Amino acid sequence: MNDKYLWDKSGEPDDEIRQLEALLREFSYQPCPLALPIELPKRIIFQYAPVRYAALAAMVLLAVGLGFWLALRQPLNKPELAGKGNAATPTPTIFPQAIERQQEPEEPEQKLVRHNLRPQTQTRYVRAAHKRVHKKSLEKQEEEAGEKVLYALQLTSDKLNLITRKIQTDVN
């Protein structure tokens, strides 16, 4: 067998190989035009995996964000949580303590009511604020009482000094 002829059809032709070629020629490829479908191949926008993953992550984040936003907003819009107002027109829950503080413009606790919070959260928030206010007023009263006690002690000591001086002069 002529290896050179088998490799690239060059050199002395090999009779056996030529015979096989002649026999098998009828099975060879007959050129015919390629009829491609009309639609274009998919564009390469989403060819790369990172772009796909980034788009997917953005969609997931958007969905989660939307879910949270709806979850925070929905309870305030429900009629049974809307307080004593008209059930058809939901109103935010306002606590009396909060209203009182709203009427005092100089107090910083005025902004305690947050309409975008859940009622439970609002209650906790208001209670905590109450405690803070109560503590502050207690501190003031204590200070005043302390001052009064000091003043009383000072008066008592002055009076005692005066009495002592008078006794000494009487003895002399």
Partner 1 sequence: MAQLADNVLSIVSMHAEPNSPQLSSAPVLQLVNHEKSEEITLVEAARNGDRAAFTKLYERYARMVHGIVLARAPRTEADDLVQDVFFFAWRKIHTVRDAAAFGGWIGMIARNRAMDYHRQKHETEELTANMADTIAEKPAPTAEAMAVLEAIKSLSEAYRETLILRLVEGMTGLEIAARTGLTPESVRVNLHRGMKMLRERLEGQTA
The site for partner 1 (CB under 8 A) is made up of 1, 3-4, 6-9, 16-17, 20-21, 23-32, 34-37, 40-44, 47
- As measured in angstroms, the least distance from the Cβ of 4 to partner 1 is 6
Give the nearer residue to partner 1 in terms of CB position, either 8 or 80.
8
Pick the closer one to partner 1 by CB: 16 or 100: 16
Query: Nearest approach, Cβ of 33 to partner 1 (angstroms)?
Result: 8
The number of residues making up the chain comes to 172
| Closest separation in Å from C-beta 40 to partner 1 | 5
What are the DSSP calls for 70-102, one per residue?
HHHHHHHHSGGGSTTS-SSS------HHHHHHH
Using only C-alpha atoms, what is the Rg of the chain?
Answer: 48
Residue number, 40 or 171, with CB nearest to partner 1: 40
Tokens coding 42: 């998919």
Question: What are the counts of helices (DSSP H) followed by strands (DSSP E) for the chain?
Answer: 5, 0
